[in-house]
Structure 1
Amino acid sequence: MELEVDDNDVKAAGAELLADGRHGIRIHGWEVESLKRSILNSSTLQRWEEKLQTSHFPEMIFGESCLVLKHINSGTKIHFNAFDALIGWKQEALPPVEVPAAAKWKFRSKPAQQVILDYDYTFTTPYRGSETIEMNATKNEIKDVAEVAYNLQWEDCKKQIDVAALTSKEPILFYDEVVLYEDELADNGVSLLTVKVRVMPSSWFLLLRYWLRVDGVLMRLRDTRMHCVFGDNASPTILRETCWREATFQALSAKGYSTDSASYSDPSVISQRLPIILHKTEVLKIPGHI
Structure 2
Amino acid sequence: MEVEVDEKELKAAGAELFSDGRRGLRIHGWEIETRNRSILNSSTHELWEKKLETCHMPEMIFGESCLVLKHVKSGTTIHFNAFDALIGWKKEALPPVEVPAAAQWKFRCKPSEQVILDYDYTFTTPYGGSETITLDADKHEGGEVSKETCNLHWEDCKEKIDVVALASKEPILFYDEVVLYEDELADNGVSLLTVKVRVMPSGWFLLLRFWLRVDGVLMRLRDTRMHCAFGDNVNPIILRESCWREATFQALAAKGYPSEAAAYNDPSIISQRLPVVMSKTQKLKFSLLYPVLHSIICSNRKTD
Which TM-score band (shorter chain)?
Answer: over 0.9
Q: 1:273 to 1:207 in 2, by over 3 A?
A: same
Say how many residue pairs are matched. Answer: 280
User: 2:191 maps to what in 1?
Assistant: 191
- TM-superposed CA distance for 1:90, in Å, is 0.2
- Structure 1, residues 5-27: CA drift from partner, whole Å, max 9, x if none? 11110000011001111000100
Give 1:1-290 correspondences, 5 Å limit.
Answer: 1-100=1-100, 101-106=102-107, 114-135=114-135, 148-287=148-287, 290=293
**C-alpha distance in 2 between matches for 1:90 and 1:281:** 25
Contact 2:202 2:230 (C-alpha < 8 Å) held by counterparts: yes
The answer as to whether partners of 1:31 and 1:72 remain within 8 angstroms in 2 is yes
What amino acid is the match of 2:167? T
C-alpha distance in structure 1 between counterparts of 2:22 and 2:279, whole Å: 35
Q: Which residue of 2 aligns with 1:139?
A: none
Tell me the residue number matched to 2:299.
none
SS of equivalent residue, structure 1 residue 269: helix
Q: Deviations along 1:241-273, whole A, 9 cap, x unmatched?
A: 000000000000000000011110000000000
| Counterpart-to-counterpart distance in 2, 1:20 and 1:103 | 49
Query: What one-letter code is carried by the residue in structure 2 that aligns with 1:52?
Result: L
Computing the radius of gyration over CA atoms, which structure comes out larger, 1 or 2?
Answer: 2
Greater helix content: 2
Query: Displacement of 1:133 after TM fit?
Result: 1.2
Contact 1:206–1:227 (Cα < 8 Å) also in 2: yes
Per-residue displacement from partner, 1:97-127 (whole Å, max 9, x unpaired)?
00003430226x7999743210000000000
**Counterparts of 1:187 and 1:285, CA distance in 2:** 44
Cα deviations across residues 174-224 of structure 1 (Å, max 9, x unaligned)? 000000000011111000000000000000000000000000000000000
For residues 179 and 112 of structure 1, the distance between their equivalents in structure 2, rounded to whole angstroms, comes to: 34
| In 1: Cα distance, 2:148 partner to 2:188 partner | 38
> d(CA) in 2 for partners of 1:279 and 1:98?
25
> How far, CA to CA, are the matches of 1:178 and 1:150 in structure 2?
24
Secondary structure at 2:282 match in 1: strand
User: 1: CA distance between counterparts of 2:30 and 2:119?
Assistant: 40
Indicate how the Cα distance of structure 1 residues 126 and 104 shifts in structure 2: closer, same or farther if over 3 A, else same.
Answer: same
Q: State whether residues 34 and 66 of structure 1, in contact with CA within 8 Å, keep that contact through their aligned partners in structure 2.
A: yes
Q: What TM-score, normalized by structure 2, do the two folds share?
A: 0.89
Check 1:130–1:113 CA distance in 2 against 1; reply closer, same or farther (3 A cut): farther
CA distance in 1, matches of 2:182, 2:277: 23
The range that moved more, 279-288 or 176-185, is 279-288
Distance 1:257 1:281 in 2: 29
Matches of 2:176 and 2:276 in 1, distance apart?
27
Structure 1: 5+ residue runs without aligned partners?
137-146
Conservation of the 8 A alpha-carbon contact between 1:130 and 1:149: no
Aligned partner of 1:77: which letter? T
Distance in structure 1 (CA, Å) of the matches to 2:106 and 2:159: 45
Q: Deviations 1:220-242 (Å, cap 9, x if unpaired)? A: 00000000000110000000000
Cα distance, 1:11–1:45 mapped onto 2, change above 3 Å? same
Aligned to 2:301: none
